[in-house]
Amino acid sequence: MLERTACGKIILFGEHAVVYGRPALAAPLSQIRARARVAARATKGVLIRALDLQREFEADAATDEPLAALARLTLAKLNASANLVLEIESAIPPASGLGSGAAVATAAARALAAYFGTEFTPAETAALVYETEKLYHGTPSGIDNTVIAYEQALCFTRKTPPQPNMIAPFRLARPFTLIIADTGVASPTKLAVGAVRRGWLENPARYEALFDEIAVLVAQAQDALARGEIDKVGALMTRNQRALEQLDVSSREIETLLKAGLRAGAWGGKLSGGGRGGNVIFAVAPRDAAQIERALWDAGARRVQTTEVTRDRPNF
Ligand code: PMV
């Protein structure tokens, strides 16, 4: 069976504000991946098997399934029709801010293209997946599908069409250690994004001011990352978290993990992604990582992993 994969992602700074045109910084999680496999079958059409969900459906019949839409859009782009099975498997926990929906769709688009002997550019993949992100999220900024398709740390700014979104690699003086702790609370991004939208509609001035505050933190974080001042990056994360709290997308579980990580010596931390559950990230000194990990497990984290945000080769 032919297989292609796609990475997960984290948002380092700027989630939610990015939906409203402010810049955000995101990085790939290359160790945690979604996989898609394609094989021919005798029956007509495309059968999608979502192995983790123990579900299967026909791409032509399941009109409201994002993956079915992705398969139809991808085949239309390839100008192809085929009888095949598309199997999906993912190590990225769903609804936890790590981009699982976009990763699964990216892996599927790549596997389908490979089946027809071709390969999409990262920009083509990002555009295809954005269409399915709309089904998952309602009003996605486009950051998830972009960082996953390029698999590179980048600064993303949403623009209003016909202007293209701005994407640029951000400068990182040196790799840094990041701990990711899962609250275990599944929280669909669509709901968190919808809640922020309602708040913004009710009180636009307050929300715009918070988005501006986050944009300033993103700019300061870019400076700190470019200088390799990771302790400062951590402190800025905690300030970004305070703004997210005011947007009402934090939660008791997030705050509990945050407090435990900070007390154990993390330079700073914040929720990552939609919030109201999902994952909390921490910038830490490598020598402190083990004790912080232990503290997070003790505070009730369902999964804790240490990773490195690296300076890698630009992909565009
Ligand atoms: O929860 P995730 O991993 O899908 O991240 C969403 C990031 C938001 O800024 C909250 C929404 C968006 O579309 O940018």
> Other CB atoms closer than 10 Å to residue 199's CB: what's the count?
17
pLDDT given at position 311? 72
Which atom of ligand 1 is least distant from the CA of 196? 10
Which atom of ligand 1 is least distant from the CA of 137? 13
CA of 239 from ligand 1 middle (Å) equals 19
CA of 39 from ligand 1 middle (Å) equals 32
pLDDT band for 93, please (50, 70, 90 cuts).
Answer: confident
Tell me what the mean pLDDT of segment 6-11 comes to.
Answer: 96
Q: Where are the domains of the chain?
A: 2-169, 176-309
pLDDT given at position 316? 45
- Tell me which residue of 258, 279, 281, 267 sits closest to 234, measured CA to CA: 267
Is the pLDDT at 34 greater than 60? The verdict is yes
CA separation for the pair 176, 229 (Å, rounded): 10
Quick one: three-class SS letters along 160-206?
Answer: CCCCCCEEEECCCCCCEEEEEEECCCCCCHHHHHHHHHHHHHHCHHH
Best substitution site from 137, 156, 191, 249 to test ligand 1's pocket, by max atoms within 8 Å of Cβ? 137
pLDDT band for 313, please (50, 70, 90 cuts).
Answer: low
Which atom of ligand 1 is least distant from the CA of 96? 1
pLDDT given at position 63? 81
Which residue, by CA, sits nearest to atom 5 of ligand 1? 273
CA of 253 from ligand 1 middle (Å) equals 19
pLDDT given at position 1? 79
> H-helix or E-strand containing 110?
helix 100-115
More confidently predicted of 132 and 220: 220
186-219 per-position pLDDT tens digit: 998 889 999 999 999 999 999 999 999 999 999 9
pLDDT given at position 310? 85
Is the pLDDT at 158 greater than 50? The verdict is yes
Tell me what the mean pLDDT of segment 114-137 comes to.
Answer: 92
Task: Quote the mean pLDDT of the chain.
Answer: 94
pLDDT band for 135, please (50, 70, 90 cuts).
Answer: confident
Which atom of ligand 1 is least distant from the CA of 17? 9
CA of 1 from ligand 1 middle (Å) equals 32
Lowest mean pLDDT across 60-64, 257-261, 272-276: 60-64
CA of 264 from ligand 1 middle (Å) equals 28
CATH fit for domain 176-309, picks 3.30.1330.10, 2.40.50.140, 3.20.20.140, 3.30.70.890: 3.30.70.890
286-300 per-position pLDDT tens digit: 999 999 999 999 999
CA separation for the pair 259, 266 (Å, rounded): 10
Tell me what the mean pLDDT of segment 242-258 comes to.
Answer: 98
pLDDT given at position 56? 95
pLDDT given at position 94? 85
Is the pLDDT at 262 greater than 70? The verdict is yes
Query: Is the domain covering 2-169 a CATH 3.90.1150.10 domain?
Result: no
CA 5 vs. chain centroid, Å, equals 15
CA of 69 from ligand 1 middle (Å) equals 20
Give pTM, 2 decimals: 0.94
Is the pLDDT at 31 greater than 90? The verdict is no
pLDDT band for 312, please (50, 70, 90 cuts).
Answer: low
pLDDT band for 136, please (50, 70, 90 cuts).
Answer: low
> H-helix or E-strand containing 55?
strand 55-58
Ligand 1, pocket residues at CB < 6 Å? 11, 15-16, 18-19, 97-99, 137, 140-141, 143-144, 189, 193, 273-274
CA of 132 from ligand 1 middle (Å) equals 14
Is the pLDDT at 314 greater than 90? The verdict is no
